[in-house]
Amino acid sequence: MTKHLKSAKGSDTNKVKIGGVTELYGDPSVKIEKPYTIVLGPGFSVEISRTTEGDYWVHVATHQDTPETKQACISTGRIDARGDYLDEVNDKLKDAIQSFEVNHMAILVKPLGGELE
């Protein structure tokens, strides 16, 4: 599946190693890092955007409004917590995604220090 993914190009976009690992540090003094990392797939994109605080918004979006590209849909989602699959929450999440035809999901990731906050 990853053979269809490609890195988006732009002056504010990090290069992505397809089939490899692209490491983000959240601190430009550790490693020069552009604010966006984008992977384009057939009908969808995954964007990681660094905030000024060093947190990351992770976006998954489908491109329903561009007739020249392949279409995709978000069909389900899931949340795991402390290694457990949250059945009740995931059932509601799946229902919401399918009922509202969700085309974008985002989560904010806050890197922690050496210890859990």
For residue range 86-115, what is the model confidence (pLDDT) as tens digits?
Answer: 999 999 999 999 999 899 999 999 988 744
pLDDT of residue 33: 78
Bridge partners for 50 per DSSP: 56
The 10s digit of each residue's pLDDT in 19-59 is 778 888 777 677 777 888 888 888 899 999 988 888 899 99
- Both structure tokens of 87: 């059945």
Handedness of CA 27, 80, 39, 59 (dihedral sign): negative
